Structure 1
Amino acid sequence: MTEETKEITTTNYFLEPGYVVLPATPTMISVVLGSCVSVCIFDKKRNVGGVSHFQFPGTTNPAEATTRYGNVALMTLIKMMLESGSKAKHLEAQIFGGAHRKDLSPRNIGEENVRMARRVLARNRISVTSEDVGGEKGRKIVFASHTNEIAVYRAERLRRSDWYPYTEGRR
């Protein structure tokens, strides 16, 4: 088998809210989003990418500074990528999520999450190449960490069976 025709084995990984992942091997990363936001950052030179999944826009309180907050999650992912050998000039990002339903909450935390993602990426000079944000529908995304390809599924209602691993019947 030549290097060009060599088959790549990928792993499946479900990223829960409040976590960041930068896999060392090709991985299909699944994320289910409502008002949460996921940012996929890809190094187009090294063909590696990672994902953050945060619930809240930001915090300035060091005691709360976890990856549940966008400002912390994104800086953590960027730092992980730079420490693994990426150069900032080779990074690009995609933003997903940030839905809001007025009937469930008057506060539009989804929009606040999207604004935080854009702000942190701009401050770090990482270009946003695509986004699918806002609206009232939840999303499930599947990100290929080695190719930067993403599938986005929009859903009126996210069921427990939409979450990986798929343990319940799906109809």
Structure 2
Amino acid sequence: MKKFIHVGEIFIGAKPTEISTVLGSCVAVCLYDNIQRIGGMNHYLVPLWNENGLQSPKYGNISIPRLIESMESIGCNRANMEAKIFGGGNVIDVSTEDMMVGRKNILIAKEILREYRIPIKASDVGGDKGRRIMMRSDTGKIFLKYTQKSE
């Protein structure tokens, strides 16, 4: 099975699935439970929900806990989870504020995963390129390809 996720989406591959997404300044957290052999991925746009409007998973501080809880709700155990984080690139040649979004997206991922005591086993974050990533939900393996600015 293949599943492409967009901004604000979370997907848990309870059955073997190739979960993929494309990232610029957005960040994707990939979680894998190495006992249940189940992986999940989110894709968020900005680090913090500012309490205006709906609590959407396009915010890192909503999306990451929801990803963890979704995996736990189907039998995964936080103690067996490991994380890999991707994205947070400075891909658009604009203001320094945009550069900060990517950096803040990376920081919120590290902060929340530390709070939940989930180790980060790998990351490919920052820089000035976009990324295409694909995760195999049954092995936790990640395939990464850098994208050109025009994509």
TM-score (normalizing by structure 2): 0.94
- Post-superposition offset of 1:59: 1.3
* Structure 1 residue aligned with 2:129: 137
Q: Aligned pair count?
A: 149
- Partners of 1:70 and 1:86 in 2: CA distance: 21
Letter of the structure 2 residue corresponding to residue 63 of structure 1: G
- Partners of 2:84 and 2:23 in 1: CA distance: 14
Alpha carbons 2:24, 2:91 under 8 Å: kept = no
Alpha carbons 2:25, 2:45 under 8 Å: kept = yes
Deviates further, 44-53 or 61-70: 61-70
- Partners of 1:28 and 1:158 in 2: CA distance: 25
Higher relative contact order (CA 8 A, sep 6+): 2
- Aligned pairs (5 A) from 1:72-91: 72-91=62-81
TM-score (normalizing by structure 1): 0.83
**Runs of at least 4 residues off by over 6 Å:** none
Q: Secondary structure of 2:61's partner?
A: helix
Give the superposed CA RMSD.
1.3
1:13 aligns to 2:3 (yes or no): yes
Q: Could you list the per-position Cα deviations for residues 105-149 of structure 1 after superposition, in whole angstroms to 9, with x for gaps in the alignment?
A: 321200000000001100000000000000000000010000011
Letter of the structure 2 residue corresponding to residue 114 of structure 1: I
Alpha carbons 2:83, 2:120 under 8 Å: kept = yes
Q: Secondary structure of 1:54's partner?
A: coil
Q: Secondary structure of 2:86's partner?
A: strand
- Post-superposition offset of 1:56: 0.5
* Structure 1 residue aligned with 2:20: 30
- Post-superposition offset of 1:102: 6.7
Larger Rg: 1
* Structure 2 residue aligned with 1:94: 84
